[in-house]
Chain A
Amino acid sequence: MDLLDNLALGFSTALGFQNVLYCFVGVLLGTLIGVLPGLGPVATIAMLLPITFGLEPVSAVIMLAGIYYGAQYGGSTTAILINLPGESSSVVTTLDGHQMAKQGRAGAALVTAAVGSFFAGSVAIIVLALFAPPLARFALEFGPPEYFALMVLGLIASVALASGAIIKALAMVVLGLLLGLIGRDLNTALPRMTFDLMAMIDGLQFVAIAMGVFGLGEIIRNLDSEQLSRGTVAKVGRLMLTREEARAIVKPILRGTVLGSILGILPGGGALLASFGAYTVEKKVSATPERFGKGAIEGVAAPESANNAGAQSSFIPMLTLGIPPNPVMALLAGALILHGIQPGPNVISEQPTLFWGLIASMWIGNLMLLILNLPLVGMWVRLASTPYHLLFPVIVVFCCIGVLSVNNATFDVLVMIGAGVIGYILLKLDCEPAPLLLGFILGPMLEEYLRRTLLISRGDPSVFFTRPLSATLLAFAVLLLVLMVLPSIRSRTNEALKE
């Protein structure tokens, strides 16, 4: 009954006054930024990162995690009531959620989203508690070749799952990998691609790139197609489900939860992918797919469950393997490192209070969100109706201060500006930025593990194929690449994601 002991430890940590407070602050902030379009968890966590230096590591992680899953709740409110996705992962919720609202069933849609999220969140926590520890023990057996193979698989998966043209997604990954290599080479300490600038010798800061692309780049894009009218705000109506509605959402919530938990673990996965995947599946299994897009309650239940499950299960690869599957996790990994904790297989055994405290806090946070969200819907709607032209200068200034305070380097602000301009251009050219950021995180790791493998094997590459685990992972990667290049499958995924 180790699990119960561990959970008891977790709850005793998470229920401490300070941690409950930080959990509350985290989910409240998360809901807030989820509600506000144009400000996402990546930019918010990056801004708050420096502030967490002074906190206990557990409290810091509890708060930052709360922002991520809190945003999944908040995003749905705006999507349903104003037809604006407050968060990228609630894009699909607008399709049926806002239609429901137009038909006067906004209350039902909001309840469905909240209940689905809560259920999915609770299940994903159990998945995390059950699967992370054995995976961590297993991960200690991982050597450099296995890590390398795993990252190749992850990068290819991220390309396969990206929407839009495959060549562009590939180019974005490679560009990310390259940008990630800028700075001192680990093996020789030579500065690489630094244009002889002292400021670039430690590379470009991930926070600066992320804030540039997801903060400034998004703002500029939002502004160039700015509209003053924010659409009509739908009336909330009765916060109750009819018996038929209640029956209709049970299975979609279950399916969304399972799919979200799985898609969250994949490299490149997380809340966004989970919500798209769940919507597609729901439409496929439905007997009446023509109702989708016209206010089908299943089209709210499944993606809203999936995005919350995915947000939480994406902690698994970061905490057990030290490989962040998405930009938010990369930031959280950075937060752990700042506190002297190395994300990887030893986190669970060496920092049990942190790991189990985080898990317990997620459940507490989900409960808070459930309670927080429904009665406060009116307030969130009013906030979401803040005109964008009053909001964005605030975000711009916070981005600047946030990036500056991470390393106290003015150069990082310049990097953010550059990333913002290039990010805007790439967004306009239909190049999705997420693969770039994943490449940026994994680039240095990929090279590091490749060269470390060859250093330990004294230059013999056969280790990649003679070690069973790395051979299997690489075989999967090749398989995925082949499947991806086959045009028939490619066009099918595109079709699914387009809707």
Chain B
Amino acid sequence: MKRIMTAALGAAIIATPAFAEYPERAITMVVPFSAGGPTDTVTRLVAESMSKDLGQQIVVENVGGAGGTLGAGKVAKADADGYTLLLHHIGMATSATLYRKLAYDPLNAFDYVGLVTDVPMVIVARPNFEPADLKGLIEYVKANKDKVNYANAGIGAASHLCGMMFMSAIETKLTAVPYKGTGPALTDLMGGQVDFMCDQTTNTTNQIKEKKIKAYATTTAKRLDALPDVPTAGEGGLPGFQVGIWHAVYAPKGTPKAAIDKLSAALQKALKDPNVVERFASLGTVPVTQEEATPAALEAKLKSEIARWKPVIESAGEYAD
């Protein structure tokens, strides 16, 4: 009933001619992480390019905390007028299971604008770790599961998700050593204090190229342009092991369709902007295709990702609250 009401309300707003001029004032795009991090960088790039197309400034607001759920919760409660947006990553899907008492329903509290990018991940290890390839790694890890330590950047982080997916794929439970963020985890990995981890290319590409850490496999379907010598997990003997940290733009549920359409079109244009493409490349990622930067594609992605991560997180038994 409520949904019909909001839909009707939305239709009424569209009918008023004033709304045809959307956006009439500055738009706020909330990032649920602190300034300076990878998600913040992605947001600022996209927001800048989108604002050129929309003819209005997009103000980026960092509402960090609680694994992104504080910022997402804020947008879920915001006015659905198209002037408050959210850019969130895969955490939107995993928080549905990681947090057992969430203040909003990730599936029903938002309208979808579109996907932005899908950052690939790489399984990396300390430089002198014995196994030669992914197959060797899996055998070694299974044989020495009481000795091996794998690092992650804290519960809910990309590296934590990938680690859980890896354990579930090889059906072995290992000792996870959590760190506060990727930086210190990588430092200890280079220093040989822990054995391996799995993290985004944004954080690992340079160190792999400088041979400070060893790369076993990418979590993608195809090899990466930035790391052509690193095989995919599929080539290495783990078919179907694909994890990407996807980013997407959302609006509060009930945002007028006219606004969503305009935003979606602006997003698609931004993802073709040479400046965005170039800066994404320097972060080790690429924009999604035009078809994926749409509300329908995002809705499907979110649904499938929530379903995919639920059993992985539940079997690992590691929750964030």
Interface pair B177/A456, CB less than 8 Å apart: yes
In-complex Cβ contact of B34 among A188, A190, A338, A452 (8 A):
A338
Complex Cα gap A53–B43 (Å): 14
Complex Cα gap A181–B35 (Å): 23
Interface pair A408/B177, CB less than 8 Å apart: no
Interface pair B194/A456, CB less than 8 Å apart: yes
Complex Cα gap A198–B36 (Å): 23
Interface pair B183/A342, CB less than 8 Å apart: yes
Chain A contact surface mostly:
loop
A456 touching B62 in the complex, CB below 8 Å, given contacts A53-B35, A186-B178: no
CB distance from A167 to the nearest CB of B (A): 32
Interface pair B178/A144, CB less than 8 Å apart: no
Interface pair A346/B64, CB less than 8 Å apart: no
In this complex, what residue of A is CB-closest to B30?
A408
Q: Is B225 an interface residue (CB 8 A)?
A: no
Interface pair A189/B62, CB less than 8 Å apart: no
Return chain A residues, CB-CB under 8 Å to B194: 456
In-complex Cβ contact of A339 among B36, B175, B177 (8 A):
B36
Return chain A residues, CB-CB under 8 Å to B184: 322, 342, 344
In this complex, what residue of A is CB-closest to B319?
A189
A187 touching B178 in the complex, CB below 8 Å, given contacts A202-B65, A342-B183: yes
CB distance from B239 to the nearest CB of A (A): 31
CB distance from A332 to the nearest CB of B (A): 14
Interface pair B36/A53, CB less than 8 Å apart: yes
Return chain B residues, CB-CB under 8 Å to A339: 36
Return chain B residues, CB-CB under 8 Å to A191: 321
Complex Cα gap A53–B34 (Å): 11
A342 touching B318 in the complex, CB below 8 Å, given contacts A141-B191, A189-B156, A456-B194: no
CB distance from A388 to the nearest CB of B (A): 34
Q: Interface code B32-76, partner A: CB below 8 Å = 1, 0 otherwise?
A: 001111100000000000000000000001111110001000000
Interface pair A201/B190, CB less than 8 Å apart: no
Interface pair A144/B183, CB less than 8 Å apart: no
Return chain A residues, CB-CB under 8 Å to B114: none
Q: Is B287 an interface residue (CB 8 A)?
A: no
A303-341 residues at the B interface, CB under 8 angstroms = 322, 337-341
Return chain B residues, CB-CB under 8 Å to A455: 149, 175, 177
Interface pair B175/A408, CB less than 8 Å apart: no
Interface pair A143/B191, CB less than 8 Å apart: yes
Q: Is A142 an interface residue (CB 8 A)?
A: yes
Return chain A residues, CB-CB under 8 Å to B191: 140-143, 345
A340 touching B321 in the complex, CB below 8 Å, given contacts A144-B193, A201-B65, A408-B63: no
Return chain A residues, CB-CB under 8 Å to B155: 188-189
CB distance from A203 to the nearest CB of B (A): 10
In-complex Cβ contact of B181 among A143, A342, A346 (8 A):
A342
CB distance from B70 to the nearest CB of A (A): 7
- The 3 residue pairs across chains A and B that have the minimum distance between CB atoms: A342-B183, A189-B155, A338-B36
Task: Give B residues with C-beta under 8 Å from A.
Answer: 34-38, 61-66, 70, 103, 146, 149, 154-156, 175, 177-181, 183-184, 186-188, 190-191, 193-194, 206, 318-321
Since A189-B156, A342-B183 are in contact, a sample of 15 more A-B pairs with Cβ atoms closer than 8 Å, ordered by chain A residue number, is A53-B35, A140-B191, A143-B191, A144-B188, A144-B193, A186-B154, A189-B318, A198-B70, A201-B66, A202-B65, A322-B184, A322-B187, A338-B34, A345-B191, A456-B194
Task: Give A residues with C-beta under 8 Å from B.
Answer: 50, 53, 140-144, 184, 186-191, 198, 201-202, 322, 337-342, 344-346, 350, 407-409, 444, 448, 452, 455-456, 458
